[in-house]
Amino acid sequence: MKKVLSKKWKLGLIALLVLGSAQVVSAAPMQMHVMEGFLPWQWALFWWAVALPFWIIGIRQVGAILREQPEKRIYLGLAGGFIFVLSALKIPSVTGSSSHPTGTGIGTMLFGPFVVGILGTVALIFQALLVAHGGISTLGANAMSMAIGGPLIAYYLVWRPLKNSPFYVRVFMTAFVADLATYLITTTQLALAFPDPFSGFVGSWLKFAGIFAVTQIPLAIGEGILSVLIMNALQSNTEQELVQA
């Protein structure tokens, strides 16, 4: 790759990270993701175990990019910063969690879902340790929903099947589905851990999903539109195809 981000894009990335950090700190009293200690320990441990193989694959892929394509480091930073910032723009939804964009669509299109699993997990760790958003005990659950599950579903069920579709449709749908799938997974996690006393898992799932849908569907649409604008700008800023096939 002969051309990397221009000075304007580098300054934009720095501004994005600064603004995102300020937003997270200013909103620290409000919990995001599934908060520390909210899940029973059995479920917290289960989601850690499920996430572990994806982290191993993701670490290997990130290492390969850094060794073989060092010019893409700035794009790794951009994708990671985008996840960190957008996942900090939260709207209170249900007890123990919240609705917010995920920002994982951009990274999924640039590097694939396993790399995003690492970028998203790093963002979750920083948020849990620095501003008490989410938690370490619930890191596995939050990573499976936002950093791993959403990107996997969007990549294999949308991004790749829509390879011959118009670029803006492909980008919008990938970001939209990555966002929405995250909250379907979170809904499933909460319903498994806290089934309704009368209607069980199904009743609990429908309750959580109904509450999430009010805020999450508009957020997913907005994230899809924003992702189209950013991907178009990235494509016009480079001489080569950046995205994963």
Could you read off the pLDDT of 49-78 as tens digits, one per residue? Answer: 999 999 999 999 999 999 999 989 989 998
CA 135 – CA 11 distance, rounded (Å): 31
Least confident residue range of 157-166, 169-178, 218-227? 218-227
Return the percentage of the chain with pLDDT > 90, whole number.
53
Query: Is 3 inside a domain boundary?
Result: no
Could you read off the pLDDT of 77-136 as tens digits, one per residue? Answer: 989 989 988 887 766 655 545 577 899 999 999 999 999 999 999 999 988 888 777 889
Query: Is 151 inside a domain boundary?
Result: yes
Could you read off the pLDDT of 7-30 as tens digits, one per residue? Answer: 555 445 444 444 444 343 333 333
Query: Is 242 inside a domain boundary?
Result: no
Helical (H) or strand (E) element with 47: helix 41-68
| DSSP secondary structure code for residue 32 in this structure | -
CA 77 – CA 108 distance, rounded (Å): 13
Tell me, what CATH number does 203's domain have?
A: 1.10.1760.20
Band of the pLDDT at 243, cuts 50, 70, 90? low
Least confident residue range of 28-32, 139-143, 219-223, 224-228? 28-32
Domain limits for position 175: 33-237
Query: Is 114 inside a domain boundary?
Result: yes
Please tell me the predicted confidence (pLDDT) of residue 29: 34
Query: Is 8 inside a domain boundary?
Result: no
Query: Is 20 inside a domain boundary?
Result: no
CA 169 – CA 153 distance, rounded (Å): 17
CA 147 – CA 118 distance, rounded (Å): 7
Residue with the bigger pLDDT between 178 and 30: it is 178
Please tell me the total count of domains within the chain: 1
Q: Which of 21, 19, 36, 1 is nearest to 132 (CA)?
A: 36
Query: Is 170 inside a domain boundary?
Result: yes
Please tell me the predicted confidence (pLDDT) of residue 93: 57
